[in-house]
Structure formats: C-alpha cells, structure tokens
C-alpha cells in the first residue's frame, strides 16, 4: 500500500533530520569552532540553498512527476553528512550548505508532492503524523548516538538514515502523469503565503524564547524543557491523525484559521503561566496549532494550486524556511531588548497577524474563484442559447 511505504519514508526522513538537526549548531560551534556570526551565515546559506533547490525541483516535479528527485537529494545529503566530520574549512562548509546539505531541504516538500501523486491529498495528515512522530524521538536518539560515539558517529548515523530513506522511496509506486502545470487554478496566493510564513516565524522564534523564559524567568529546571517538548510532540501526533478524520465538507479555511487562533492562544497562556501545569496545558494549544497549519496548510496549497502539487508543497515549505530565517533575528533582538515575556507576546502577535493575512488572502481567492466561475457559467449559457 503506497501510504504505508510513504509513511515509513517520511518517518525515516524525520528521524534523520531530527537526529542531526537538533545538534548541527552545536557541531559547528564545538567541533568546528565557528563563531556565532559564522554559525548565522552558515544557517542562512543552508536555508537559502534549500529554498532555491526546492523551488527548482518543485517545478520539475510538476512538469514530470518522478521519485528520482527526492532520491537524488537524499543520496546527496547522505554523502554530505558522511563527509561533514572531516571538514573544518568555513568556505567548504558554506559550499556544502548551499549544495549537498541544502539539497535535503527539498526532500520534505518532494515527499509530500509524491504522496499527493500516488496516494491523494487525504494521505497528507497521515504523512505529517509520521514527521511529528519522528521528531518526538529523533532528538533523543541523536543524543544517545552523540554520547556513545561523538560527532562523527552522529553524522554517519544520519547519513545512513537518509540513504535508507532513499531506498524506501524506491519502493513507492511511480506517480502517474498529471495535467500541464500551466493549468493551475490560480496564481501564487501571496497573502496566504505571507500568513503561513508569519506563523512559522512565530513558531521558530517562540521555540528560541521559550526555554529561556522557563528556566530563567520561571526558574524551572532544564529538564522541564524536555517535558514540554515531549508533550507537544505527542499531542501533535494525535492532532495530526485526527485531521484525517475531518469530513471533506468542512471548510479547510476555517480549520486552518482555528489553528492560527490556537497558536496565538498558546503564547497568551504561556506568558501568564506561574508554573509547569499551565505551561503543559499551553502545549496542547501549541501542538494543535502546529498540527493544523502544518497539515491542513499543505492540503490547502495543493488544492489551491492543483494540479501543480510540486509547486504547491514547495511554496508551503519555503514559507516555513523563510520564517526560520526571519525568526533568529526577531527572537534574538526581542529577547535582548524586550525580555522573555514580551518576546513571547510578540510571537503571539505575529501569529495573529499571520492569521489575519491568511483570512484576508483566502477570502479574496474564494471570491475571485466564484466570480470566475460565474463568468464562465454565463459564457457557456450564452453559447448554448446561441
């Protein structure tokens, strides 16, 4: 069954990404000796490389759907992490970030485009739950490998997992041909994309500020962060799977706006939390928001830009990556100048503005679609009368 194979592939991809992604900054600082500025540049080049390669392969997938795209980027990424422990030159690290490592940024959207091509849009929540499940255990597995074998073994383990993912993808049925990519339902949904970008900006910035707020403002132990992360990941898996049961007649737009509201509510609840109980309750709102926007959002983009599933999934993924780029600067400056609570409130406001942008953009697109439909129906009626 294609969905089961794809689930296994996304799970493996997520485990590999979580294993190495949770510690790559520490690798650059401790093993290579990069300065904070160099780390920032390296991260930005990695993100920009991923955005560029994802955009190119997304359009390639729409022209000619194939498993080859995701297999190639996985093999390139595997080779990159296999060699990474031997690299100490900052210039070489930048080149790798822009190419073989950055190519892995295309694996996630390509996997979901492939899933839509062979299993249909209804498989999206199931595949997204595999990603959430992987991130629930991947960082712990990475920590175990790191403690037993050091940086080299961590990179090699991730390389092996990426290569294993490529092998699993080869077992996925070949996607069938689709309509020409030029026949999409509409142009790029700009305001909707901005809304998603702001959501992920708030998510990544909040992820940076939360540990500092919990340990320094509320004076909780560092282990409290692990508890909150585990609760969020577990609830996110359940919420993502629950989306698969949402009736088709329900408005995807309304569901996604509910996700924005839930996420903004998480920040509001967190800043007034006196201790762990309310912080844990806040994780339910956080997980629901991430699950809804991260899952229903992909489906919305795929339906909005159908049949260009590659372009749609890549656009959504690149909006997330752009949010990551912005979040570091936003969170760093806000924490330094405003403090932890104000930073979390700012993140909530950013999520709220993102929800407004999504609401306005999606309402405009719905109205334009109806107008085009009415004009088309009127023209067909006149031709029939003639």
Question: Which band of pLDDT confidence, cut at 50, 70 and 90, is reported for residue 114?
Answer: very high
Between 292 and 21, the higher pLDDT residue: 292
Between 174 and 199, the higher pLDDT residue: 199
8 Å CB contact between 305 and 312: yes
What burial class does residue 293 get, using C-beta atoms within 10 Å of its C-beta: 0-12 exposed, 13-18 middle, 19+ buried?
Answer: buried
Query: What pLDDT is stored for residue 349 in this prediction?
Result: 97
Query: What pLDDT is stored for residue 248 in this prediction?
Result: 67
Catalogue all structural domains in the chain, each as residue range(s) with its CATH number: 2-169 (1.20.1250.20), 187-381 (1.20.1250.20)
CA–CA distances in Å: residue 37 to residues 40, 99, 235: 5, 21, 35
* Among 68-72, 178-182, 234-238, the range of highest mean pLDDT: 68-72
Between 260 and 178, the higher pLDDT residue: 260
Residue 101: pLDDT over 90:
yes
Q: What angle is formed at CA 78 by the lines to CA 171 and CA 124, rounded to 5 degrees?
A: 45
Rg of the Cα trace of the chain? 21
CA–CA distances in Å: residue 224 to residues 220, 234, 237: 6, 15, 20
Q: What is the mean pLDDT of the chain?
A: 87
Compute the average pLDDT of residues 185-190.
71
Question: Which band of pLDDT confidence, cut at 50, 70 and 90, is reported for residue 143?
Answer: confident
Helices (H), 213-339: 223-243, 252-271, 276-304, 309-338
CA–CA distances in Å: residue 314 to residues 75, 112, 121, 216, 384: 19, 9, 15, 38, 41
Query: What pLDDT is stored for residue 372 in this prediction?
Result: 47
Compute the average pLDDT of residues 18-25.
84
300-358 residue pLDDT tens: 998 888 888 888 999 999 999 999 888 877 887 888 888 899 999 999 999 999 999 99
Compute the average pLDDT of residues 261-265.
97
Nearest alpha-carbon partner for 261 in 304, 292, 235: 292
Query: What pLDDT is stored for residue 142 in this prediction?
Result: 87
Q: What is this structure's pTM?
A: 0.81
């Amino acid at each position: 069954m294609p969905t089961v194979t794809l689930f296994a592939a996304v799970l493996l991809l997520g485990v590999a990404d979580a294993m190495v992604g949770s510690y790559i900054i520490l690798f650059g600082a401790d093993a290579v000796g990069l300065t904070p500025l160099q780390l920032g540049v390296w991260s930005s080049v990695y993100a920009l490389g991923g955005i560029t390669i994802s955009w190119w392969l997304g359009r390639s997938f729409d022209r000619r759907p194939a498993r080859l795209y995701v297999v190639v980027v996985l093999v390139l990424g595997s080779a990159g992490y296999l060699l990474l422990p031997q690299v100490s030159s900052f210039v070489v690290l930048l080149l790798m970030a822009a190419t073989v490592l950055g190519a892995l940024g295309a694996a996630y959207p390509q996997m979901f485009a492939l899933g839509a091509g062979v299993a249909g849009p209804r498989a999206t929540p199931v595949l997204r739950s595999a990603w959430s499940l992987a991130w629930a255990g991947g960082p712990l597995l990475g920590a175990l490998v790191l403690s037993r074998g050091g940086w080299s073994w961590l990179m090699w383990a991730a390389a092996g997992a990426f290569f294993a993912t490529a092998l699993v993808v080869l077992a996925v049925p070949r996607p069938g041909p689709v309509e020409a990519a030029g026949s999409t339902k509409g142009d790029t949904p700009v305001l909707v994309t901005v809304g998603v970008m702001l959501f992920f900006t708030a998510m990544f910035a909040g992820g940076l500020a939360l540990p500092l707020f919990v340990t320094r403002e509320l004076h909780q132990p560092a282990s409290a962060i692990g508890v909150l992360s585990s609760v969020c990941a577990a609830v996110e898996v359940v919420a993502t799977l629950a989306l698969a049961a949402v009736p088709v007649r329900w408005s995807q737009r309304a569901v996604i706006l509910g996700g924005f509201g839930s996420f903004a509510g998480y920040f509001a609840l967190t800043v007034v939390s006196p201790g762990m109980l309310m912080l844990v309750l806040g994780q339910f709102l956080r997980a629901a928001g991430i699950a809804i926007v991260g899952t229903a959002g992909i489906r919305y983009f795929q339906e909005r830009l159908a049949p260009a599933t590659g372009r749609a999934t890549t656009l959504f993924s690149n909006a997330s990556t752009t949010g990551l780029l912005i979040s570091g600067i936003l969170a760093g400056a806000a924490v330094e100048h405003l403090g932890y609570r104000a930073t979390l409130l700012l993140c909530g406001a950013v999520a709220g503005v993102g929800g407004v942008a999504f609401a306005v953009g999606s309402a405009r697109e719905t109205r334009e679609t109806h107008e085009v439909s009415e004009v088309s129906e009127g023209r067909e009626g006149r031709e029939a009368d003639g």
